[in-house]
Amino acid sequence: MTEATLSDIEAGDPEGTACESEGYVATPLGTDRGNTTRSNAEGQNSALREAIARSQNYLLGRQHEEGYWCGFLGNWDGTLVSDYIMLMHFLGAVNESHVRKGVKFILSKRNEAGGWGLYPGAPSDVSATVKAYFALKLAGYSAEDPIMKGACAEVLRMGGMDKVNSFTKIYLAMFGVFGWNEVPAVPPELMFMPETFYLNVWEMSSWSRAILVPLTIIWATKPLKPLPAGISIAELFSNPRQRGLDSNSENGRYGWEHFFYSLSEIAKTIEKLPFKPWRKKSLAKAEEWMLERVVPGGLGAVYPSMMNAVVAMDCLGYAEDHPKRKSAMDEFMALMIEEDDRILFQPCFSPVWDTAICSLALGKSGLGVDHPQMEKAARWMAGKECRFAGDWFHRTPVEPVSGWYFEFHNQFYPDVDDTVMVMMALDSMGAPGRINGVREAMDRGLKWLFTMQGADGGWGAFDRDNNKEVFEKVPFADHNAMLDPSTADLTSRMLEHFGPVGVPRNHPAVIRAVDFIKREQEPEGCWYGRWGVNYIYGTWQVLRGMAQIGEDMVKPWLQRGAGWLFSIQNEDGGWGESCDSYEHPELKGIGPSTPSQTAWALMGLIAAGHASNHAVQEGIRYLIETQNPDGSWDEDWFTGTGFPKVYYLEYTMYRHYFPLLALSHYRDD
């Protein structure tokens, strides 16, 4: 579809000629295009009702007995399985069956170029490809194998093994592939930086902190596990090698990159000294911090930090049967799924997130807490409120202590996105006032959300004002996830909840949030999506949030957002966007149609006042016609974001509950 609704005023084109020259047709807000009217669309009512009913039945049939939903959370590049094979060799506990099945999974993710990418259809990524190559070598593959030759050629084409990210270098240093003097310094003395100091561990994103603290132990102890005889991956180094930061590069001679590089080199020099006065105390502090957080769910409840905790405890000499090490290993292994012929890992579990969105969709579709399964879901979610003062409390030591986390257990890391989604779900099904304690929990949650608003008016995920960009310049920060800044998608979701629960449009927090969102708008009219792929996700959430808080949706800046959504509709009536748009913003909104992204675009356009538009009806038709007989949808592409440009996620339930939410919004408009 190439038609669009754009504001003549905002576009500076009162006659709409510029849009028409692009193949777009500008249409006033709330009017229909062509000969299709809302009355014509009533012919879809029967199919719409049936699609909603099928979706309801499908989702209800997949609820767990305890009341929650939890879809498989997948990754594409094979790095988790590659890391597991490496971990088994490091610990000296190789399960040959797991290696064999892991190899099958890794090979299934190889791309046409012979390497491994980060998402379906992605070009090769050097770190993912090196990890896969190393795992295959450990599994017995020869460098002369055609698969290995192709992977080696890909690595060399991308610049060789020196181009891998810092975490990969550190893992490979554990086997002597890199020397410890060749990897970025991650000294445990970081733990002694006071919270009042400009740079300290509490200024990092929560997930980086959980990954890096055990990594400081690994770096300080510098373990070395010799590779089995005859195994080497030296062929992946370029010739000549390109080691370290290029001090002659544009960013290397001056600025923060050079400053932190110099600090890293100083730390490595200090490492050579026989006496390190702070080392014993700093290691003890890092160990204490880590052990305190090795709780049910694991350290940070995500794969990288959980694996690092196991390695760190091994480096510190913890026996396999030590309660903390055993707990850490058990939680880590719980992420593995073993099938007849392969193994795979989830990066974490997503029950609170999936249950909240599924309940929200079912609630909006007409099922309330009087339905026994919905009541069970509401009670399960209410019981997951986190009353523990976790890491966020260091930056925001205020009451009340509340919030919800993403996983089954993760008491140190509730987040605002899960919190607001749970609260919207409970509200949508009528749980407040119907189930004891829900209203009180939601009141605490709302107050907690207000305390987490940043100075810029927006919200990040886990911390407030976690936005010191200098952290992105440290040598070990190349995983593109050192910060957790405010984002338009999260901020808009706050507004989506605030409106229905009575927070007025003129509330100071709302005014600041709207100003932040306006500043974040892209020139095309869309918004960046940090937590979903990508600009479709961000734009939908902004339009939905603005409508729910009571903003005048006719305003030109909002209609520019709607116009952008119209302009990127695919010919099949759906919407889609590839993860490529994170790396290449010129690819905004371009990609094959998917159920989840189509649902997002539709909800954005409906919120902007365009439910009667032909393009919206075409999108509804797309969802209805692509629904499977059992009420599900198929989706081959990744629409979830872990770390932009580094790690992407397959939320396997997005394809099912977001379409139900969109169909319900359309029905009720």
> Which position has the token pair 């959300």?
449
| Chain center to CA of 635 | 18
Q: How far apart are CA 499 and CA 490, in angstroms?
A: 15
Choosing from 417, 463, 484, 580, the catalytic residue is 417
Give the strand order in the sheet containing 640-643: 73-74, 647-651, 640-643
CA angle 621, 624, 626 (to 5 degrees): 105
Element (H, E) at 651: strand 647-651
Q: How far apart are CA 248 and CA 254, in angstroms?
A: 9
Phi-psi region of 434 (alpha: psi -120 to 50; beta: other; left: phi over 0): alpha
Distance CA 442, CA 423 (A): 6
Q: Are 530 and 205 in contact (CB under 8 A)?
A: no
User: CA-CA distance, 361 to 593, in Å (whole number)?
Assistant: 21
State how far the Cα of 410 lies from the Cα of 386, in Å rounded to an integer: 9
Name the 3-class secondary structure at 470.
helix
Q: Which of 628, 623, 625, 622 is nearest to 658 (CA)?
A: 623
Residue 18, judged by CB atoms within 10 A of its CB (0-12, 13-18, 19+), counts as: middle
String of DSSP letters for 35-69: T--HHHHGGGHHHHHHHHHHHHHHHHTT--TTS--
Which residue from 235, 244, 121, 223 is spatially nearest to 172, judged by alpha carbons?
223
Single-letter amino acid code for the residue at 225: K
In terms of phi and psi (left: phi > 0; alpha: psi -120 to 50; beta: otherwise), the region of 609 is: left
Question: In the chain, what are the helix, strand and coil shares in percent, each to the nearest 5?
Answer: 50, 5, 45
Q: Which of 370, 371, 354, 494 is nearest to 424 (CA)?
A: 494
What are the C-alpha distances in Å from 272 to residues 20, 283, 287? 68, 17, 22
Between CA 422 and CA 520 the distance in angstroms is: 26
Q: Which of 453, 455, 454, 433 is nearest to 442 (CA)?
A: 433
Contact between residue 242 and residue 520 where contact means Cβ atoms under 8 Å apart: no
> How large is the angle between the packed helices 535-548 and 556-567, nearest 10 degrees?
140
Say which DSSP state 647 is in: E
Which of these, 203, 161, 156, lies nearest to 182 by C-alpha position? 161
Q: Are 138 and 82 in contact (CB under 8 A)?
A: no
Active site residue 417: yes
- The DSSP element (H or E) to which 202 belongs, if any, is none
Cα–Cα distances in angstroms (integers) from residue 536 to residues 41, 253, 591, in the given order: 25, 39, 11
135 neighbors 82 (Cβ within 8 angstroms): yes
Q: With contact defined as beta carbons under 8 Å apart, do 169 and 127 qualify?
A: no
**What single-letter DSSP state applies at residue 531?**
S
Q: From CA 534, how far away is CA 539, in angstroms rounded?
A: 9
Q: What tokens does 319 get?
A: 């026996």
Question: Which residue numbers are catalytic?
Answer: 417
